[in-house]
Amino acid sequence: MTQAVRHDAMRARNLALVLGEVSARGSVTRAALAEITGLAKTTVSKLIADLIEAGLVVETGIVRAGERGRPGMEVQVSGLSVAAIGLEINVDYLAAHVVDLSRSVRLRRARPVDNRLASPGDVIANLQHLALSAVDEAVDIGLRVVGGVLAVPGTVDLTTGTVRRAPNLGWRDVPLLSLLRMPFPIRVDNEANLAALGELWFGAGHRDFLHVSGEIGVGAGLVVRGELFRGFRGFAGELGHVVVSPGGPPCHCGGQGCLERYAGQDALLSAAGLAPSAPSSGPGQDATRLPASPPPPSGPEQGPGRRPDPGCPAPAVADTPSTPGHPGTGIAELLRRLEASDSDALAACERAGWALGIALTSAVNLVDPERIVLGGIYAPLFPWIGGAVTETLTARLGEMREVVPSVEVSRLGTEAAPLGAAGQVIHQIIADPAGLLNA
């Protein structure tokens, strides 16, 4: 190793050390940073100057009496410049959220569209349009998007960015990464994993939980001491294919009686007497700020409408010019019927909650999470589903365990995945800022 290479490696490590402390502490003086890290004050000052120049850190302008020394100017992670984009392709919508380096959500863009009717190429073209519009809007508010992650509802080869299987999209071996052209690096990851990371970074602040991501498919992400558990091949968390009833209805996955067939969005809507979840522009829905993109060639967009759902908790981070999270319009209709105490709708939720309770009984027995967080469509549906889940878990686990994991509602709903996706880029920048400084 040459001396220059060694110096670069040490500088990269020190940049990460300093930025990590700034990020963890919110705001902190250079003097305190020197004390915490053991680096010389002049070294800290030089590193901070570089981080400020790269737009990763800002001075807060607050001068206060330092607890451990002279008063000093505090610095914090900057929300003014560097940002990341979180993208999502799901079965019935696309999403693109922009998050700045201080983890504030700055833009939320979503588009209801039935991606089952479109080819992968068309879906990607459509997503690219949505994403580039969001990037343009981000530029307009002074942000520079430096990277992105794309969430998809299927198993993903993380190295190549190829979607191995996305049964609800009907995709198999789609080289997503090579089809998507963006002006910055992009990675592809599983939707349920990213939703769990979204809950970790933007949710209620728990560090040990199983996050359940209810969509057309049902996925889960297990977070253990603040880290995502991925399994040996990266395919852990396929809760939707946990067996609820071994002789039950056949599933897209090739199995039978999978949770998805009882508690996935389509199963839930069908059981409630509603058509499956093709997005539609029902009357009385608010217009949203959608990008002025063309309809996908092989599957015309059925309408831009969606509205905040009555049962959906407010998003955790709300300083955005856009609209809150997107559940499909079928779910919006289901929610209306639930609020009107429609017996079919209530029975459908009861059944889905029971099935979810069965699958989660197996999950708790296997991985013993501290708590369970229900997200995706289960967030707005929580008032009608949560009770049945808890009852089923308690009936089946209460004898063996002093503490049955609590069942909680996600504050993020279907936004968790694109937020986790953007958050992953932010996480990576904080962990290794040198790449961005040298770029």
**Interaction between residue 20 and its own copies (CB under 8 A):** no
**Interaction between residue 351 and its own copies (CB under 8 A):** no
**Interaction between residue 279 and its own copies (CB under 8 A):** no
Piece in contact with its own copies (CB under 8 A), picked from 91-99, 118-126, 237-245, 308-316: 237-245
Closest CB to its own copies among residues 292, 400: 400
**Interaction between residue 162 and its own copies (CB under 8 A):** no
**Interaction between residue 73 and its own copies (CB under 8 A):** no
Q: In the sheet where 93-100 sits, what is the strand order? A: 105-112, 93-100, 82-89, 144-152, 186-190
Pick from 104, 155, 281, 285 the residue near its own copies by CB under 8 A. 155
Cβ 123 to its own copies shortest distance, Å: 20
| CA 119 to chain centroid | 24
Cβ 377 to its own copies shortest distance, Å: 20
Beta bridge partners of 256: 250
Pick from 245, 280, 281, 285 the residue near its own copies by CB under 8 A. 245
Cβ 394 to its own copies shortest distance, Å: 10
Q: What is the DSSP letter of 377?
A: T
**Closest to 292 measured CA to CA, from 431, 47, 109, 76:** 109
Cβ 414 to its own copies shortest distance, Å: 22
Distances (CA, A) of 85 to 38, 95, 138, 144: 34, 10, 10, 10
Pick from 106, 111, 165, 306 the residue near its own copies by CB under 8 A. 165
Distance, CA of 319 to CA of 203 (rounded, Å): 15
Cβ 243 to its own copies shortest distance, Å: 5
CB 179 within 8 A of CB 173: no
Cβ 386 to its own copies shortest distance, Å: 19
Closest CB to its own copies among residues 160, 298: 160
Distance, CA of 358 to CA of 351 (rounded, Å): 11
Closest CB to its own copies among residues 60, 362: 362
Piece in contact with its own copies (CB under 8 A), picked from 14-22, 218-226, 287-295, 330-338: 218-226
CB 25 within 8 A of CB 40: no
**Interaction between residue 254 and its own copies (CB under 8 A):** yes
Closest CB to its own copies among residues 199, 415: 199
Q: How many residues sit in the footprint of its own copies (CB under 8 A)?
A: 49
Per DSSP, the three-state class of 299 is: coil
**Interaction between residue 246 and its own copies (CB under 8 A):** yes
Residues 6+ apart with CB under 8 A from 155: 163, 164, 165, 166, 190, 234, 235, 238
**Interaction between residue 205 and its own copies (CB under 8 A):** no
Q: Residue 77 corresponds to which amino acid?
A: V
**Closest to 223 measured CA to CA, from 202, 196, 242, 201:** 196
Beta bridge partners of 96: 87, 109
Pick from 361, 390, 410, 424 the residue near its own copies by CB under 8 A. 361
Piece in contact with its own copies (CB under 8 A), picked from 10-18, 80-88, 283-291, 396-404: 396-404
- Helix intervals (H) in 91-238: 120-140, 176-179, 191-202
**Interaction between residue 220 and its own copies (CB under 8 A):** yes
Q: What is the DSSP letter of 313?
A: P
Pick from 46, 187, 289, 396 the residue near its own copies by CB under 8 A. 396
What does the block give as tokens for 120? 């992968």
| CA 144 to chain centroid | 21
Residues that bind its own copies (CB under 8 A): 155, 164-165, 167, 208, 220, 222, 224, 229-239, 241-246, 253-256, 358-359, 361-363, 365-370, 395-403
